[in-house]
Structure 1
């Protein structure tokens, strides 16, 4: 995986704020290549290992509630490309049409099986397909919906230099994001004005200090976080 030439970036990304991060990543060519090799190899192995567990989860979802097995919401990844993410459906069908694009604690749209999947982050297992396709990576900024990307500050666009990720330092630090949003009635406003800037601080810091080995550490930190470890 190599960066596009600066002149080939979308016009809205070619600004001074993004250039700083672009220059940093340009000097990390070998780490970027290792990142993609790791993604393809590990995703391929996981797809084989997780095939049967994912079939079982799919059956549980179908038995629990009406609707499709997968939730295919449009998200944004490298260079502003739109793609439909693969996630196990954890909410009632058409949940995005009867609520916000983010989830709050005790969201009444979440199904019984969905609650268990979300608690262990098992709903994200199908994203190995997105990793193999190149739309995502194991580590990177979580892919936002189009409406939130449209509200990005210029500096935030730097996160689109790399594929969106299944996990990240921001994901670890904000694993209880739903709880934070549960205390407000204006969820979209609070997310854009308060939560998103906090997450972006970690996302941008990860780009500034990008290295392949640092991302491996993030993978292990994610496992520990899912198991209950709290990181301050």
Structure 2
């Protein structure tokens, strides 16, 4: 039994095309991205390979290619992130930084070699991604028992349920099981064999988290977030980057601020800036600044909570306000809040004080989202959009917890890229 099980699990994990293996992807990319432009230049000038500036360019291209590949693979690990949307930004960032350093130190370099390497790098991984996705869908085997029913609701995966530990499931990329369930001994032996053979084995709760970008937490004592405090080193680095970014926005976009303020004042009477009490870092209240997008009229007897909620097609929103909301330009004055340390560019969205008190009374663990600074944009915003109902806020908490658990520059970079897309499409605006 043990021998056949061991061989079976090897078959599960290792039947992969060479181009699906990371080392072959990287090796092929390096050979093409560095070799093809070099051969093209050598066809016209054979001795170009001996020039110092060309050797500097080749070295820089290798470094940029490796950094770009590692960045794109790291970003691709987050759920809901299409590989096509990460390849070009990742390589643009890596090549841009490396050759910016070369320009800063005034090294001579070959523009043809640099540009050719960049274009071929992006094209190689685009093509590779299309080929591997057509070659084999993302397929996972499921061990019966425990809370596996939730897997059926997760899209983008071919789920293959196993009916016997002796059955050969075919070609899958891993095995999913409820490792907290009381499984029969035969299935425990099967899982052990998978682990020994190198086949990935995932706990059902963790695989759902990684595929949906949501962390479901019932009890803080379970410590499913790993550490209840985010990475403190990145926390401090991020604060510096936030401050520099806010200062740059306020200085460079001051003319835009003035134009938008004038347009708002001309359309409807009232101040250009909207001020509202929000709950922020560690539960401290603060005054949030936005461009006013609604008429500054008395709402009469409308309850305070109702005033704070923006509905679909809200009649209070002005024509300019709809444009500002769709493009998210109404959020720009929050650079003031970032400079003062009340907010970050990226983090859980701060709620109005009245709504925060309401949510705290309705939802367990809601205050935990205040462990990091609130953001202008965040993981919940790029996945879910604007929410108001308690049921929607409960789902939003799952996204906020995922952000806190995976608090890192990589996830922030993903959010930045998706925020740019949202600014162009208007996703989630109300």
Distance 1:80 1:114, change over 3 A: same
1:123 is the counterpart of 2:330: yes
Output the TM-score relative to the length of structure 1. Answer: 0.79
- Once the two structures are superposed, residues 130-153 of structure 1 have per-residue CA deviations (whole angstroms, 9 ceiling, x without a partner) of 111111100111111122222323
**Cross-structure match for 1:49:** 252
Gaps of 5+ in 1: 1-15, 179-187
Query: Contact 2:327–2:426 (CA<8 Å) still a contact in 1?
Result: no
Distance 1:95 1:54, change over 3 A: farther
1:227 is the counterpart of 2:424: yes
Output the TM-score relative to the length of structure 2. Answer: 0.44
The match for 1:197 among 390, 394, 398 is: 394
Across the two proteins, how many residue pairs are aligned to each other? 202
Query: Contact 1:43–1:132 (CA<8 Å) still a contact in 2?
Result: yes
Hey, what's the Cα distance between the residues in 1 that align with 2:321 and 2:427? 23
- Once the two structures are superposed, residues 21-68 of structure 1 have per-residue CA deviations (whole angstroms, 9 ceiling, x without a partner) of 593435x12111111111011111111111100100000000000111
Query: Contact 1:76–1:149 (CA<8 Å) still a contact in 2?
Result: yes
Query: Contact 1:17–1:154 (CA<8 Å) still a contact in 2?
Result: no
Higher relative contact order (CA 8 A, sep 6+): 1
1:146 is the counterpart of 2:372: no
**Cross-structure match for 2:380:** 170
1:100-119 equivalences under 5 Å are 100-119=307-326
Hey, what's the Cα distance between the residues in 2 that align with 1:221 and 1:215? 10
Structure showing greater radius of gyration is 2
Hey, what's the Cα distance between the residues in 2 that align with 1:19 and 1:137? 28
Say what the alpha-carbon RMSD is for the aligned residues: 2.3
Distance 1:70 1:230, change over 3 A: closer
Hey, what's the Cα distance between the residues in 2 that align with 1:45 and 1:173? 27
Gaps of 5+ in 2: 1-218
